[in-house]
Amino acid sequence: MTVLTDLGEAVRRGGEFRAGGTDLMGRRAAGPHVDLRGLPDLSGVTWRPDGSAGIGALTTVAGVARDARLAAGHPCLALTAAALATPQIREVATVGGNLLQRNRCVYFRNPAFSCHQDGGDHCPARAGLAPNAAILGTGPCVAPHPSSLAVALLACDASVEVHGRDAFPIAELYGDGSDPSRDHLLAAGEILLSVVLPPPVPGERAAYHRAIGRSEAEWPLVEAVARLVVDGGGGGGITFARVAAGGVARVPVRLPEVEEALLAGEPLDRAAGLATARCAPAARDSYKLALLAGTVLEVLERATGTGEPR
């Protein structure tokens, strides 16, 4: 493995990039690997004069979770970072690595199988044992996108900076999920440099929740984040809403139906029920409909302070 301290040399060298290494080790990915941890200026949080913030791609997930200013200005991101994986993994896993990790489908990660993700021409998960398949906008591949931070950053209207390119919205990092061979759209040799958060929204309340099969250290079946501003003038109405979900599609997704219902004054449970409006699960995955609606209701209740954590 080559450890580099020059960004240009890292781009020229080629190979699969390594940061914290948690995904590479899990996949037992063949080399060559280029270790990015020696690159300068890609770690930490930088606040800009306009109130926006840049988070270096090599910043650890734990670093995001612990940053007091991020927790105050962008609470849904800090809450999400604090909830994923384990404390040990959060200390080494990086923001860039979390955003660019490969999916967790057991067929993709089993060398005995071939699929769209490794150059094959079919998806064995469709007819196999895959109880955590995508239920929204499914295409040739049914593996849900694995990045929890991407869900939060989508709700935060974040952008990403990539070497050699202008900043672009994080949604464009993933596209619409129609390419079954890709978990993100960076080309080989492209390096994610940072995430850019817009200035905080005054009065924002936020919540994150994941539905998992055990108490912690598990990939979510469904996860959701909510960012809300509640009218403090006595009306109690919601004047700003961003709601996003993970574990349900090939890419992280915003839930505009839920957002519009909240802004229109609909009750929280009715708004949360609209989270499933575009879903079309296979019969074995239909359980995720109630799970998605319930998870969205959970974050809405937490963000508004109207419900007790389940």
The two structure tokens encoding residue 79: 């809450």
| Cα Rg of the chain (Å, integer) | 19
The size of the chain, in residues, is 310
C-beta separation of 193 from 163 below 8 A:
yes
Residue 47 one-letter amino acid: W
> Cα(16)–Cα(187) distance, rounded to whole angstroms?
11
CA distance linking residue 84 with residue 94, whole number of Å: 12
Q: 217 with 193: CB under 8 angstroms?
A: no
**Considering the entire predicted model, what is its pTM?**
0.94
Do the beta carbons of residue 206 and residue 79 sit within 8 Å? Answer: yes
pLDDT (0 to 100) of residue 1: 61
| Chain-centroid distance, C-alpha 36 | 21
Residues 185, 168 contacting (CB under 8 angstroms): no
Name the residue ranges covered by the structural domains of the chain: 2-36+43-103+143-197, 205-304
For the domain with range 205-304, which CATH number is right: 3.30.470.10, 1.10.150.120, 3.30.390.50, 3.40.630.30?
3.30.390.50
Which residue's entry shows tokens 């960004």? 7
pLDDT of residue 208: 98
List Cα–Cα distances, 146 to 97, 133, 140, 184, 272, in angstroms: 11, 11, 17, 11, 22
CB count within 10 Å of CB 142 equals 24
Tell which residue, 127, 84, 124, has the closest CA to residue 106.
124
**Tens-digit pLDDT profile for the chain (310 aa)?**
666 677 777 677 767 888 888 787 677 667 678 888 888 789 999 999 999 999 999 999 999 999 999 999 999 999 999 999 999 999 999 999 999 999 999 999 999 999 999 999 999 999 888 889 999 997 899 999 999 999 999 999 999 999 999 999 999 999 999 999 999 999 988 999 999 999 999 999 999 999 998 877 889 999 999 999 999 766 789 999 999 999 999 999 999 999 999 999 999 999 999 999 999 999 999 999 999 999 999 999 999 999 754 4
Q: Rounded to 5 degrees, what are φ and ψ at 162?
A: -120, 140
Nearest Cα neighbor of 249 from 225, 226, 223 is 223
Q: Tell me the C-alpha distance between 65 and 182, whole Å.
A: 28
Q: Give the other-Cβ count within 10 Å of 151's Cβ.
A: 28
Q: Are 2-36+43-103+143-197 and 205-304 equal in CATH topology?
A: no
The topology (CATH level 3) of 2-36+43-103+143-197 is 3.30.465
What pLDDT is recorded for position 32? 77
- For 30, phi then psi, to 5°, come to -70, 150
Bridge partners (DSSP) listed for residue 53? 47, 197
What phi and psi values does residue 120 have, to the nearest 5 degrees? -80, -175
Phi/psi of residue 122, each to 5°? -155, 175
Residue 59 is given by DSSP the state -
